[in-house]
A and B are shown apart, each in its own frame.
Chain A
Amino acid sequence: MEPFTRYTAIAAPLDLANVDTDQIMPARFMRRPRDERYATYGFHDQRFTPDGAKRPDFILNQPPFDAAGILVAGRNFGVGSSREAAVYALAAMGFRCVVASSFGDIFFSNALKNGLLPVKLPESAVSALRQAISASPGVTISVDLQTQILTAPDGSTHEFFVPGFARDCLLRGLDEIGLTLTLEPEITAFEARRNGG
């Protein structure tokens, strides 16, 4: 995994609450192996008409938001199905960060494991961000994982929090499996303890 330290990109507003992972990644594409086609699966049914044409009214189809790397969403983003494919689709679309006031629990951890930074801020801050980027399309937001600070287009800063272990993994580009495998003696000892009763 590519290390995540500091990232600056155009931000797109998505002013919808409870965006579930069924919407982000429709079920019928989930049988496909992970490849570049995932970029078209993301929000597919909102981005495309049934005959495959782009819907001009969907915000992520409109320039400059179609080139955004940060998504500023509504509350409860990524609720529902545990499908990690929703994160694969967002990543394939070019997103490296999603900002929201709350996230679906499993989505939050899936995102962290795939280098998509979920940034949780109070709803007042998130809605101010959405307004700012809607008012001046193309402005950028910066996120710094080391300091856990998001910098808004107007230069104001917001602190966020990412759990320590996941942050370490992300900053160093390590995956958890490798780290956990170093605890193999502890796991074996736990198994022995339990079997011994």
Chain B
Amino acid sequence: MGQTSSQKTLFQKIWDAHVVQARDDGLALLYVDRHYFHEGSFHAFNMLKARGLAVRRPDLSFGFGDHYAPTVSRRTDQVADPEIRGIIETFEENARANRIRAFELADPDQGIVHVAGPEQGLTLPGMTVVCGDSHTSTHGALGALAFGIGASEVAHVLATQTIWQSPPKQIRCAFEGALPAGSTAKDMALALIAQIGTGGGLGGAIEFAGSAVRALSVEARLTLCNMAIEAGARTGMVAPDRVTRAWLAGRPYAPAEADPAWDRLFSDPDASFDSEVTIDATAIRPMATWGTSPEEAVPLSGRVPRAEEAPDEARQKAWARSLDYMGLKGGEAMADVALDRVFLGSCTNARIEDLRDAAAVLRGRRIAVPMLVSPGSSRVKRAAEAEGLDRIFKEAGARWEESSCALCVSMHGETVGEGERCASTSNRNFAGRQGRGARTHLVSPASAAASAVAGRLVSAS
């Protein structure tokens, strides 16, 4: 930070435009343009209530019911588990009591906050965006400064429309060259994290750049920025361009005309970053995780590593633990790892392009293991049905259900069973993430579909 030249990074430009007050130690009070929340934000509303504080700008907050949304129905009163029903009701009541627009379960525009927010045109270039959810980094794909916050900070934002932040390290991550056909943004993210580690971006702001990023659609950029948090970063971002403007045009909350100020949202050629990493995009192959950390990933054409192959002693221990949890010995070919089920969904990979990718693989084929498809939003679901994608999934034997975070975090009333192995298009393969003792392998939508057909971990190509 503290650049003396007038050359600024994209991050710096957005940061500077939102400083309400700066302290000598670098900490700044930033104005928040957009605040999103979900059912889990009830702690924050409780804090506000306990202190008798009002929401300062109800017009700048938007709620989405997603984490606990059932995949089998859109009616709150049909949720069988009283605790889950209670938390959905609390979400809806908090929004109503504070005059905030919430996209509730039955709303035709409901969806996962990081899918439906951008889809509505609520996230725009140059904005500061926060949400009590770590994957808020997703929204940076539109050229916004977007990061996840904790419940106390959500209460702070509700009460003051601002947040205290210390400037993060700025990292430029350039993917250069053409991404091979069959490889996707998900594979770029997994390859990056496998290279730099889950601590590689710790606390930082990653700007994704390079020819391979410029060539990505907005949806693929959303996937890439979604996973920035798994590299330990606070946020990911992509400079807005023609592709961004075209994608935003006509969305419900987006301005009718692109704001000319968006054209200035890029890193100046001589702006300096704290660190830079360049990745050869031409070498990226379809990837999958084998362990319980997103950095434990290899190409699907490869094999599961053995613990003793780990680069240092600490990781030997970690890898041994991961292999043990995952029920793998090490050394087996990824393609020999047999699956129990497949999940296509989550804010990482459940947009319309993701569903198209998976459907293209499934067309005319049958799945060998159960597969759940949960679209990223109710809009995505309708769009997919209009294109006939739902028929392809159903004819292949998959369950085609409502939009929810679903098996990404398994809060909605269904889990992956103890010891069950699931190929998943979500973003976290942590122990227990999909259910106690569940074994998760992170993959792209195309690989998920191919794996469902094979009943084993394979890529589509």
* Contact surface of A with B, Cβ cutoff 8 Å: 16-18, 20, 22-23, 26-28, 30-34, 45, 50, 74-76, 79-85, 87, 102, 104-106, 109-110, 113-114, 163-165, 175-177, 180-181, 183-184, 186-187, 190-191, 194
Contact = CB atoms under 8 A, between A and B. Distances in A.
Contacts of B424: none
A86 B156 CA distance: 19
Contacts of A191: 31, 161
Contacts of B40: 30, 83
B152 interface: yes
Given A164-B27, A184-B160, A187-B161, 16 more contacts: A18-B293, A22-B432, A31-B83, A32-B83, A33-B42, A79-B232, A82-B132, A82-B134, A164-B25, A165-B25, A165-B164, A183-B21, A186-B20, A187-B29, A190-B31, A191-B161
Instruction: In the A-B complex, list the 7 residue pairs whose CB atoms are closest, starting with the nearest.
Output: A110-B150, A84-B151, A113-B152, A84-B150, A82-B134, A82-B148, A22-B430
Contact of B202 (A20, A105, A109): A105
Contacts of B321: 16
B78 interface: no
Contact of B148 (A22, A23, A106): A106
B205 to A, nearest CB: 11
Nearest to B165: A109
B155 interface: yes
B293 A187 contact: no
Interface of B: 20-21, 23, 25, 27, 29, 31, 40, 42-43, 46, 51, 53, 56, 68, 83-84, 86-87, 132-134, 148-153, 155-156, 159-162, 164, 166, 168, 198-199, 202-203, 232-234, 293, 314-315, 318, 321, 409-411, 418, 428, 430-433, 436
A170 B379 CA distance: 45
18 contacts: A18-B293, A22-B431, A27-B433, A31-B83, A31-B86, A33-B42, A34-B43, A79-B232, A84-B151, A85-B151, A109-B150, A109-B153, A113-B150, A163-B166, A176-B164, A183-B162, A187-B56, A190-B20
Nearest to B83: A31
A113 B142 CA distance: 30
A20 to B, nearest CB: 5
A194 B433 CA distance: 42
B237 to A, nearest CB: 16
Contact of B160 (A32, A106, A109, A180): A180
Contact of B430 (A20, A113, A180): A20
A161 B430 CA distance: 30
A26 B437 CA distance: 12
- Residue from B87, B168, B314, B321 with most neighbouring chain A CB atoms (10 Å): B314
A180 B202 contact: no
Nearest to A83: B40
A30 B149 contact: no
Contacts of B46: 33-34
A34 to B, nearest CB: 7
Contacts of B133: 81-82
Given A76-B198, A82-B148, A177-B51, A22 B433 contact: yes
B202 A102 contact: yes
Nearest to B233: A105
A118 to B, nearest CB: 12
Contacts of A177: 51, 53, 155-156, 159-160
Contacts of A180: 29, 156, 159-160, 162, 164
B436 A26 contact: yes
Given A18-B318, A105-B234, A50 B418 contact: yes
Contacts of B84: 31
Nearest to B232: A79
Contacts of B27: 163-165
Contacts of A105: 168, 202-203, 232-234
A30 B21 contact: no
B248 to A, nearest CB: 20
A114 B409 CA distance: 25
A89 to B, nearest CB: 13
A113 B153 contact: yes
B314 A17 contact: yes
A85 B21 contact: no
Nearest to A181: B160
Contacts of A33: 42, 46
B293 to A, nearest CB: 5
A83 B199 CA distance: 19
B403 to A, nearest CB: 18
Contacts of A87: 150
B149 A82 contact: yes
A17 B151 CA distance: 25
A131 B302 CA distance: 37
